[in-house]
Amino acid sequence: MRIKVLALLVILAVFLAPTYTPLSAQPTSPNRETPTWKAYIDPGFLSQDPDLPVRAILVVGKDFNYSLLLPYTRVARGTPPIGNLKLIRTVIKPKDVAKISELEGVVGVFLDKRLHYEVPLDPELKTSVVEKGEVEPQMYQIVDLVRASDVWTEYGYTGKGVTVAIVDTGVDFGHPDLYPAMARNATGYPLYFDPDEMGLVLTNNTYVDDGDLILTVGVEGPRNISYYIPWMGAVGKFDLLTITPGTIDLTYLNTIGYTSQSGEYHVGVAEWQGGYYYGYYLVIFVDNGTAGRYEAVFIDLDQDAVIEDFEGPFDWGHRAAVIGDFNHDGILNMSLGVVGGYTLDWWGIFDTTGQILEWDYEGRWVLLQYDYYGHGTQCASTAAGRGGYTGLMGIAPGAKLIGVTALYLGDIIEAWLWAAGFDLETYNDIEVVPMYGTVVYGEWTYTGEHKADIISNSWGWSSWVEGSYYEWWFWYDVLTILEDALMIPYLLDPEYTGTLMVQAAGNGGPGFGTVTETGYSILALTVGASTSYHYTWTYGYSGYNDTIIFWSARGPTPLGFSKPDIVAVGAYGFTAIPLYSGAIWWGLFGGTSMATPMTAGAAAIVYEAFRDLWYEPFPETIKCILMSTATDLMEDPYSQGAGRIDIYRAVKLVAGEGGVFIVTGDSWNNALEAIEDAWMSAFLHLNTSLGLPFSTTPDGWYGNAVTESFYGGFIRTGTIKRGQVYLFNPSGVRRTYKLMPFTYCLVKSTSFTMTITPNMYYTYHPIPVRITPGRRVVITMIGSLEDYYEGNYSQFNVFDWVDDGDGVIETDEVYRIADSYNEGNVQYLTFNSSLIRGVPVFRIISMGIQGNFTVTVKVEEWDTYIPHWVRVTPGWVSLGPGESAFVTVTIMAKPGMIGPYEAYIKVVDTTTGYKSLIPVSFVAVPYIRNTWIKYKITSSSSQKLQPYDALRVRGVYDQGWRYETGDWRVLFFNVKDEDDKLVAIKATVSWKYPNTDINVHGVGGHGIVWDQGVTNYQSDGNFTWGTRTGTTEEYVWIWDGGYYGLWPYLYPGFYRSVTGENRALILHNVLIDGSVPADFPESYEVTLDFYKVYFSGGYDVKHASRFVEVNATAGETVVVWLTFESSEIIDVTLNVAWYDDMPPTNLPLSFTVVGKTTVPIEITVPADTPTGTYTADVEVQLGNMPYTFYCWITVNVQGIGE
């Protein structure tokens, strides 16, 4: 059960982080005898109002006693146990965090984070919406491009019987395109979940009618009624006179026979928050059938305080859609979503605190499920829109959709668990918290009934490295691990078969390493964005398909894993949008936000086919089918994964009509080892306090944790690693497959310079370079950094000009191939040169730059070649019907290699010509044996330039986007330190050109980001230049001394060495000079200096290199020798530790280390000292290292006469 055990431990390891304490804090004196556990506290709490409740995530032991939280919170809900831990979502006051962290079983207290879901739009777009009647056939090209329409026609699969959850800003199921797609349970009740509690409407305000059905405000009921304020999670008072003239006209209810049987009408106000409009709407809840049983809802949509025929009755059954046709002209004026579904009472508004609310027949509340932003509706329309109102069908028009509103406050954990089939079960004990009210504690348990087969997530978190630094955790966080866990069958429950998690990669490209969290989840199906330029008819010209749009996020992940897994169209397409105006029903959509639900729709079709022809598949089976059948766009793995989705090929594979099914379990094994390297060494008490087993011995349990891509993990240079990939022929005939590794290398580069004047805007210029057909082309436009600041950018487009014979380039003769338009001085685009039928031309448009400006355009051609570091054997495989075979992948990390590497293994079905791509990646880790001298890491001009080069950067930042933009690199290395004397490594990164800036972060062998240089992050994607040195050189320090060296007072009695573990540098290229095209991309070099500190004599007992004991008698002076070794000249200052009770007598002491220096530490024991154990610790300041550390000396004193 190796995989299962490792998966559990990976999950556990994330949360076992050491406590964060500011380095300037004054700790208590150490107690070396009794180890104690300190829970992690997220420092983000420090910036919060101490008395204002905030959402938090607690990491606790699986047997945690919920009642311990009673003094601090009103709601607490736990996940199923994940190994020996569980997560608890709760609301607490920041001032109580320290006390909560001390509760028995608490491992960590995290501040919940906000998520991002914005969509990048083409700046040439004239309008983001199109009025009804303007739709042209070109809009439907996407379903043709990804070949969904071929499957509908030939096989009849549309996703029927498959359910997709859209975890997003909500879904407007009031839109006629989406209402038929809304999933319902066995009783017909809508499956919609609102863990953000956005749609709660309080209707516990009673009006007693006097018989005329005209309710008088303040007479027949209260004027100031209770209403729920969703953005505050609070109950306020609302004056009905602000939205009524003093009366509420219900006479229409008598016309249709819907008057109250009890005479009591429940009145409420919905505070509707939308990205399109905002308002307060009167809500009337009526017991029209049986007195006291409230079943019908009326909502004053036109806000005139008169209920009319288009304003109800609404119920959860036949008329759940809250839509209004004010003029009865057949054009819907607006939608407020649907009534019904489920809401998580996060804030404890009712006595049933913390429970999931549904339809309340007592009339106390109405649940109004809507899309507050519009983003989720467009996602839903992309995945499974019916098209009955707009004509725009989604990819899987037969699938059902579950809406989940979870991005307003970010309730992702609850959203995922509910959608995956878990329900909140409460404990029997209900307690009262002083000044808060009733508390109901519970946890999520699997019901045995799946709700969603697929969960689509078009959002992400950008600043993962900032979280790593400021919150002292590594890259793999709570949500990413839970996303992996939800993919694995039987991990969270013996009956749980897994859910396909489809995750957006992000829109921060084209720089490498821009995939956001949780897109770097190893097992989730991560999606990038390709193009379909059919929408450009709105500009007066046409366009082609199948390039990677420049802003699509690229891999690798921080662990060197190849992401995205696949791409789908994200630039751009038309979808339904929330109804907010009678004439506007759809709009342009894009981003990986669009590509993700498109892929979810594709998965739904494959699910249906697989169930029909085979059996109930595991989620990773569907993922591997989509990857095995993707179409190659002639891009590298970090840009396109296995390629662009091809639903027809996927279904043909399932039907046994061609192709090959590819899967490997070794990638997951190697990934877990990589996570172990990054996480396990970082967190204390993994095998002690919590007693967690850990084994790296495989026992064959990997069938349900597989991928299509092959990841070799971390491989020390000079060694090799082998793994196996499984090939299966599902067809009824023998097929032969040819396997060959390849990657891309630069074979031709040409540059030209031109000055752009304002009168050249929107004019076309032939590219003065012959481009070879059948090659990958990269075109980079580089401008002066002085011309570009936030708000200024250029639009750079490449077209194919097919002349009509007159030699004049005209708009209706050009076809857009690719474009780039970020706010920066580098525009970067790629395409397959086979797209060119005529003459390639380009166009440059300035956005904000005044006057003339000069640019350099660099045209590169890339061709395939066989990489020297990967082999596959055998190279030919012949499989009969239903036969399978393993092939062996060998990765050779050769000396001189460093960082992530990418390639493909191409698998060609020689019968049909079908080609499948297996993305291959690994991280080369040099092993540094000699720490006496500096170690230099430099790029080699003799090596072939590949798309991802660990030691060269292209800038490609975008000041108008978010933190993740730019060009990222991660370098891992290992250091020989068998005697554990190394305490610190100083990494200096240097580059050539003054306007280039690389932000540097240093990661220790324990997996913590210890130090970062000057980042000068402003906002969005905007960074200003800055380094610690003020030159083109930046440095960071990496603590390498285990645990008591830095914080003796936090982890008394326990020492964790980092010997043998990987250290890392995270580099973020945020500005690029680019003034010399020949040096673009710009190389940089790294210099590592090493510092050893250890006790070398004078002690009686040595526990570790920096922890010794000496024996002394009262009145005696003892000398302990402390040695320093350094690969550079460095100044050192020694001081007495502030908590010493027997401080060394010859401190402070300052000196310079040149190579090796040994100094005495004198400790004089006063004559009257009683027998006992004393501390004489030494605080060490090493050069300009940003923190001090300690060397421990325990003095065992024998008193005189004792």
- For 917-971, the pLDDT digits (tens) are 999 999 999 999 999 999 999 987 767 889 999 999 999 999 889 999 999 999 9
Contacts of 705 (CB under 8 A, 6+ apart): 3, 7, 487, 488, 523, 620, 665, 668
pLDDT at 303 over 90: yes
If you average pLDDT over residues 282-307, what whole number do you get?
97
Residue 430: inside a domain, yes or no?
no
> Lowest-pLDDT range, 230-239, 675-684, 1027-1036?
675-684
pLDDT at 487 over 50: yes
More confident residue, 405 or 86: 405
pLDDT of 704 above 60 = no
Query: Per-residue pLDDT for 1188 more than 50?
Result: yes
Percent of the chain with pLDDT over 90: 62
The verdict on 358 and 480 lying in the same domain is: no
Rounded distance between C-alpha atoms, residue 66 and residue 353, angstroms: 15
- 973 close to 924: Cβ distance less than 8 angstroms: no
Three-state SS annotation for 39-81:
CEECHHHHHCCCCCCEEEEEEEECCCCHHHHCCCCCEEEECCC
Are 996 and 989 in contact by the 8 Å Cβ rule? The answer is: no
**Rounded distance between C-alpha atoms, residue 211 and residue 1020, angstroms:** 59
> Rounded to an integer, what distance in angstroms lies between the CA atom of residue 762 and that of residue 844?
7
Place of tokens 């922890």: 1107
SS3 content of the chain, % helix, strand, coil (to 5): 15, 40, 45
Predicted pLDDT at 368: 96
Give me the number of domains the chain comprises: 7
Residues 1178 and 1064 in one domain: no
Q: What is the pTM of this model?
A: 0.89
27 pLDDT band (50/70/90 cuts)? very low
More confident residue, 266 or 38: 266
498 and 540 together in one domain: yes
1189 and 1086 in one domain?
A: no
Question: Is 80 exceeded by the pLDDT of residue 1159?
Answer: yes
Between CA 1010 and CA 23 the distance in angstroms is 11
- Contact between residue 1152 and residue 1131 where contact means Cβ atoms under 8 Å apart: yes
Residues 598 and 725 placed together within one structural domain of the fold: no
The kind and range of the H/E element at 592 are helix 592-613
Amino acid at 636: D
pLDDT at 147 over 70: yes
Quote the CA–CA distance of 1144 and 1179 in Å, as a whole number: 11
Cis-peptide into 489, omega within 30 deg: no
Q: Do residue 935 and residue 911 come from a single domain?
A: no
Of residues 208 and 1055, more confidently modeled? 208
Question: Long-range contacts: 246-249, Cβ < 8 Å, 24+?
Answer: 246/216, 246/217, 246/218, 247/214, 247/215, 247/216, 247/217, 247/305, 248/207, 248/214, 248/215, 248/217, 248/282, 248/284, 248/305, 248/307, 249/213, 249/214, 249/305, 249/306, 249/307
CATH number for the domain harbouring residue 802: 2.60.40
- pLDDT over threshold 80, residue 700: no
Is the per-residue pLDDT at 1091 higher than 90?
A: yes
Shared domain check, 381 and 365: no
Average the pLDDT over each of 129-133, 274-278, 279-283 and give the range with the smallest value.
129-133
Q: What is the pLDDT of residues 501-536, one digit of tens each?
A: 999 999 999 999 999 988 989 999 999 999 999 887
Distance CA(524)–CA(297), nearest Å, equals 40
- In the structure, what pLDDT confidence band is assigned to residue 456 with cuts at 50, 70 and 90? very high
What is residue 10's predicted lDDT score, i.e. its pLDDT? 26
The last residue of one of the domains, among 1091, 1115, 1135, is 1091
Mean pLDDT of the chain: 85
State yes or no: pLDDT of 701 exceeds 90: no
Instruction: Provide mean pLDDT across the span 637-645.
Output: 98
Contact 298, 277 (CB under 8 A): no
User: What are the start-end ranges of the E strands in 287-396?
Assistant: 296-299, 321-324, 334-339, 342-344, 356-357, 365-369
CA distance 823 to 699: 51
Is residue 685 located within the same domain as residue 789? Answer: no
What is the C-alpha to C-alpha distance for residues 388 and 853, in angstroms, rounded to an integer?
50
What residues contact residue 1022 under an 8 Å CB cut-off, 6+ apart?
790, 959
pLDDT band, very low/low/confident/very high, at 693 (cuts 50, 70, 90): very low
Do the Cβ atoms of 468 and 461 come closer than 8 Å?
no
What was the pLDDT predicted at 111? 80
1179 forms beta bridges with: 1135, 1190
Among the ranges given (254-258, 348-352, 367-371, 1009-1013), the one the predictor scored with the smallest mean pLDDT: 348-352
How far apart CA 81 and CA 689 sit, in angstroms, is 18
DSSP 3-state of 903: strand
Mean pLDDT over residues 708-733, rounded?
96
Q: Which residues does 437 contact at the CB level (< 8 Å), separation at least 6?
A: 74, 348, 351, 353
Within a domain: residue 750?
no
Residue 256, token pair as written in the block: 């249709």
Answer whether residue 440 is part of any domain: no
Query: CB-based contacts of 1069: which residues, under 8 Å, 6+ apart?
Result: 511, 953, 954, 955, 957, 966, 967, 968, 969, 996, 997, 998, 999
Cα torsion through 877, 882, 886, 887, rounded to 10: 30
pLDDT at 6: 25
Question: What is the C-alpha to C-alpha distance for residues 846 and 759, in angstroms, rounded to an integer?
Answer: 11
Query: 300, 301, 304, 286: which is closest to 246 by C-alpha?
Result: 304
Position 438 in a domain: no
317 domain residue, yes or no: yes
Quote the CA–CA distance of 57 and 15 in Å, as a whole number: 11
Task: Residue 6: give the domain boundaries.
Answer: 1-111+666-702
| Chosen domain end from 1066, 1091, 1116 | 1091
When pLDDT is cut at 50, 70 and 90, the band that residue 853 belongs to is confident
pLDDT above 50: residue 1051: no
pLDDT exceeds 90 at position 13:
no
pLDDT at 695: 28
Are 231 and 405 in contact, with CB atoms under 8 Å apart? no
Domain identity same for 365 and 416: no
Question: pLDDT grade, residue 794 (50/70/90)?
Answer: confident
Domain-ending residue, one of 1059, 1091, 1123:
1091
Together in a domain, 932 and 990 = yes
- Summarize pLDDT for 817-832 with one digit per residue, the tens: 999 998 899 999 999 9
**Total Cβ atoms within 10 A of residue 362:** 13
Instruction: Convert the pLDDT of each residue in 304-357 to its tens digit.
Output: 999 999 999 999 998 999 999 998 888 888 899 999 999 988 777 886 556 889
* CATH code of the domain covering residue 870: 2.60.40.10
Residue 72 and residue 162 in one domain = no
Are residues 1085 and 1107 both part of a single domain?
Answer: no
Give the DSSP H/E element, type plus range, for residue 600.
Answer: helix 592-613
In a domain, 363, yes or no: yes
Residue 949, domain CATH: 2.60.120.380
Q: Is pLDDT above 60 for 471?
A: no
> What is the predicted pLDDT for the residue at 676?
59
Name the token pair of 407.
Answer: 């991005």
Q: 124-133 pLDDT, tens per residue? A: 653 333 333 3
CA–chain centroid gap for 822, Å, is 22
pLDDT tens readout for residues 882-915: 999 999 999 999 999 999 999 999 999 998 889 9
Mean pLDDT across 840-856: 84
pLDDT in tens, 39-65: 778 777 887 888 877 878 888 887 888
pLDDT(32) > 50? no
Q: Is residue 352 part of a domain?
A: yes
Q: How many Å apart are CA 1123 and CA 1101, to the nearest integer?
A: 17
Domain membership flag for residue 860: no
Q: Is the pLDDT of residue 36 over 80?
A: no
